[in-house]
Chains A and B, each alone.
Chain A
Amino acid sequence: MIDDEDRSLVCRTLAGDRRAFEQIVERYQKVIYNVALRMRSRAEDAEDITQSVFLKAYESLGTYKPRYKFFSWIYRIAVNESLNFVNRQKQHEELDQNIPDLDPSAEQVADEHDLTRIVDEGLMRLRVEERAIIVLNHFHNLSYGEIGYILDIPEKTVKSRLYSARQLLRTRLLKGHLIQ
């Protein structure tokens, strides 16, 4: 049902109906913003990435194949934009080393009580490819198959990357005493 509505909105947009694209933005801005936010962990960057995702989507709407789910297609753009953004910023980050230290004292942990921040800090310590899989699987509940399509990798690779990403995250959060 959602898929049919999405396809209809795409057709209407292609036919020149701007209101239809507005509905697409309304429908997907929250999930796209959250993908970008978890990939990047900075609200301003997430806004820029989300804007860029919808611009790209509008630009290339004619290439969308209706046999695929529209949400997978737009997630794919979102993940690629996030990965590109992260890679562009990588060099700067390596110099900056601005990522918070993940070895807080027990007092600090007790003070934080901020699940989102703890998780974000853990995520930022993963490689972007691993981060993307964790984000899509755990925050957006996408299946291995859907993640494979979005990241353009076989389902088998999704599984192995997901398992190793979880393992790394477990090690890092344990090191930071964040999983008690």
Chain B
Amino acid sequence: MIEERYITLIHREVDGLNSAEESSDLRSYLSHDAGASDYYRDILKLSNMLGAVPLVEPPLNLKKRILNSIAVHLPSRRQNLVSAMAAQFVQSLRIHKSYAFVFASGLAIGIIGFSLLDGGSPPNQRESISHISGTMTRPGPFPALMFYDQGDLGAADVRGQVTLRGSRDLLLVELQVKGGRDVDVALDFAQDDVGFSSFSQQNPEPDNLRMEPNSVRVGNAGENQYTLIFSRKSHNVVPVKVSFYRFSKLLSDRVFSAAAVSE
């Protein structure tokens, strides 16, 4: 019967985790216990055997198959955002049912009116592309994101950490909020500097995002983690103010900055 402590030491030895003293202790034990010595030899052989199994190359078409499945099953993330906004819009229409009818009627009248003014679109008329010439420029390689700024803000019972990263064309704000759920978070920025592009959160609830040209607001934002992506319009320093509110009362705010980038 091998002592429990030496079974552990045997496995740790095989994994290369024993200290010099532990290895020496084990060697001394193995020299006096034939059963333990056999056990060690077997575990070592087993480990070598497993380690000798090579990784198998996946089939050549696997990558294509994976990417196709993504294209089929999921719309692009931009489309996700559009559908999320559409869903939010439909939700608001549900709330204001009376406006929904007025809107739908107006939309129908507008479409009919426009098509009449335009003379209607000719059915199945194809545009000739024979006169179009030229080359398309390939999009350049996407630069790795640079770290810009990071810091904490908060009050007694709510803490937040903000990290700004980005590239020449992109600004990424990672926001982690710890504390009461009743905290609202606002990000304020100049609309000439950045434009809001996409949003994701670790916990799906709450779904309470409000977007304006120069701000993004998340209601009941506590105990969650967010990633907000903006398209960058300005190459100068871009300040983003992050504020925490509770019942519209400001708890804390701080300005974070993304460094200027070359033109």
Known A-B contacts A8-B144, A47-B62; the reply to A163 vs B202 at CB < 8 A is no
CB nearest neighbor in B for A67: B176
Q: Which residues of A contact B74 (CB under 8 A)?
A: 55, 58-59
- Distance of A67 Cα from B197 Cα, bound (Å): 23
Looking at the complex, which one of A20, A30, A167, A169 makes contact with B58 (CB distance below 8 Å)?
A30
Judged by a CB distance under 8 angstroms, whether A70 is at the interface is no
**Chain B residues with CB below 8 A from A8, complex form:** 144-145
C-alpha spacing A65/B45, complex, angstroms: 39
Complex Cα spacing A11 to B148, Å: 15
Partner of A55, one of B56, B70, B198: B70
Given contacts A14-B200, A15-B172, A163-B7, contact A115 B52 (CB under 8 A): yes
Interface residue tally on B, bucketed by range: 35 or more
What is the distance, in angstroms, from B79's C-beta to the closest C-beta of chain A?
9
Residue of A nearest to B143 (CB): A8
Q: Is A75 an interface residue (CB 8 A)?
A: no
Scan B48-89; emit 1 where CB is below 8 A from any A CB, else 0. Answer: 011111111111001101110110011011100000000000
Q: 29 pairs across A/B with beta carbons < 8 Å? A: A7-B145, A11-B165, A14-B200, A14-B227, A15-B77, A25-B66, A31-B55, A34-B55, A37-B56, A47-B59, A50-B62, A54-B69, A58-B70, A62-B200, A62-B201, A63-B200, A63-B202, A65-B225, A115-B53, A116-B53, A116-B54, A119-B50, A134-B50, A138-B50, A138-B53, A139-B55, A167-B43, A170-B39, A173-B49
